[in-house]
C-alpha cells in the first residue's frame, strides 16, 4: 500500500515538473508511432479502397492474409522483423536492428492489416451505396477510389486512430526489435516494463498515465468522429 501511495505521489511530481526522462521517452514514443502511422495509413487506406471497388483474382487471398496478420501476436511480428534485420538476415547490411527504424517497421506491419481491414469494411458499405452512380458516370478505378476515400474520410480517420492506439500501446514487438536502449529506443511501453521490473514505480506510473491519457484522447476523438458522421455533419 505504501509503495503504491509513494509511487503515485512521485508520479504526479514527475508529471507536473515535466521530468526530462519522461518527456524524452514520451516524445520518442510519439515520433516512432506517428511515423509508423503515417506510413501504414498511406499503404492501408488505398489498399482498403482497392479491395472495396475491385474484384481481382488475388482479392480473397489478400483479405485472408490481412486477417491472418491481424491475429498474429505482435511478439511474433517482432521475431520475424528481428530475423529479417539481424546481421545475418536479408536486410542485415542496413544495420537497422535496435534502432527506432526497426521499431517503426514492426509497428507498420502490426497496424497495416488493422487499418486496412477497418477501412475496407467502411468503404465496402459506401461502395454499395455509390456503385450504380459511379458506374453510370463511367468512372475509372482511380476516380472511384478517390471518391470513396474522400467521402469516407471520417471512417478512415477512425481507422487510423485505432491503428495509433494499437501501435502506441504495443510492447512485445518493439521490445524485441528495439532492444529498449536508454536514450535510443526506449519508449513508453518498454520503459514501463523495465521500471516495473526494477521496482521503480514512480516513473512507471507516470509513463502509464501518459499512455492512459493518450488512449482516452484517441477514444474521445473516435467517439466524436462517429457522432458527427451519424448526424450527417461535415
Partner 1 sequence: MSALFPLIVEAAVTRRHGKVLVGPVDLTLDAGGATIVIGPNGAGKTSLLRMLHGIARLHSGRIEWACDQDTARARQAFVFQTPVMLRRTVQDNLAYPLRLIGMRRTESRAKAAEMAARIGLEEALGRPATVLSGGERQKLALGRALIRSPDLLFLDEPCASLDGRAMREVEDILTTAVRDGTRLIMSTHNMGQAKRLASDVVFLLGGKIHEQGDAKSFFETPSTAQARAFLKGDIVE
Q: Which residues are near partner 1 by CB under 8 A?
A: 126, 129-130, 132-133, 135-139, 143, 147, 151-152, 232-234
Are the CB atoms for 144 and 134 separated by under 8 Å?
A: yes
**For partner 1, the closer CB: 17 or 138:** 138
Compute the least distance from the CB of residue 35 to partner 1, in Å: 30
The CA–CA distances, whole Å, from 169 to 83, 102, 185 equal: 23, 17, 15
Q: Dihedral sign, CA of 8, 12, 15, 18?
A: negative
**For partner 1, the closer CB: 38 or 142:** 142
Compute the least distance from the CB of residue 52 to partner 1, in Å: 15
Residues in CB range of 35: below 8 A, 6 or more apart: 104
Compute the least distance from the CB of residue 57 to partner 1, in Å: 18
Compute the least distance from the CB of residue 222 to partner 1, in Å: 18
Decide: helix, strand or coil at residue 56: coil
Compute the least distance from the CB of residue 126 to partner 1, in Å: 8
Grid cell, residue 44, equals 492501408
**For partner 1, the closer CB: 78 or 152:** 152
- What do you get for the CA distance between the two ends of the chain, in Å? 50
**For partner 1, the closer CB: 147 or 192:** 147
**For partner 1, the closer CB: 123 or 188:** 123
Alpha-carbon distance 161 to 83, whole Å? 29
Amino acid at each position: 500500500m505504501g509503495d503504491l501511495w509513494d509511487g503515485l505521489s512521485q508520479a504526479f511530481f514527475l508529471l507536473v515538473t515535466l521530468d526530462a526522462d519522461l518527456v524524452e521517452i514520451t516524445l520518442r514514443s510519439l515520433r516512432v508511432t506517428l511515423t509508423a502511422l503515417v506510413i501504414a495509413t498511406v499503404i492501408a487506406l488505398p489498399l482498403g479502397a482497392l479491395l472495396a471497388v475491385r474484384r481481382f483474382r488475388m482479392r480473397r487471398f489478400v483479405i485472408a492474409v490481412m486477417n491472418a496478420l491481424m491475429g498474429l501476436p505482435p511478439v511474433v511480428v517482432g521475431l520475424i522483423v528481428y530475423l529479417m534485420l539481424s546481421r545475418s538476415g536479408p536486410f542485415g547490411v542496413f544495420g537497422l536492428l535496435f534502432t527506432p527504424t526497426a521499431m517503426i517497421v514492426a509497428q507498420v506491419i502490426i497496424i497495416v492489416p488493422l487499418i486496412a481491414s477497418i477501412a475496407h469494411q467502411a468503404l465496402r458499405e459506401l461502395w454499395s451505396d455509390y456503385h450504380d452512380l459511379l458506374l453510370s458516370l463511367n468512372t475509372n478505378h482511380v476516380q472511384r477510389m478517390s471518391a470513396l476515400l474522400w467521402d469516407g474520410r471520417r471512417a478512415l480517420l477512425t481507422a487510423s486512430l485505432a491503428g495509433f492506439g494499437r501501435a502506441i500501446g504495443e510492447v512485445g514487438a518493439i521490445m524485441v526489435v528495439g532492444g529498449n536502449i536508454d536514450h535510443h529506443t526506449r519508449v513508453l511501453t518498454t520503459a514501463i516494463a523495465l521500471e516495473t521490473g526494477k521496482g521503480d514505480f514512480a516513473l512507471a506510473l507516470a509513463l502509464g498515465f501518459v499512455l492512459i491519457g493518450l488512449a482516452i484522447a484517441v477514444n474521445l476523438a473516435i467517439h466524436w468522429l462517429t457522432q458527427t458522421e451519424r448526424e450527417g455533419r461535415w
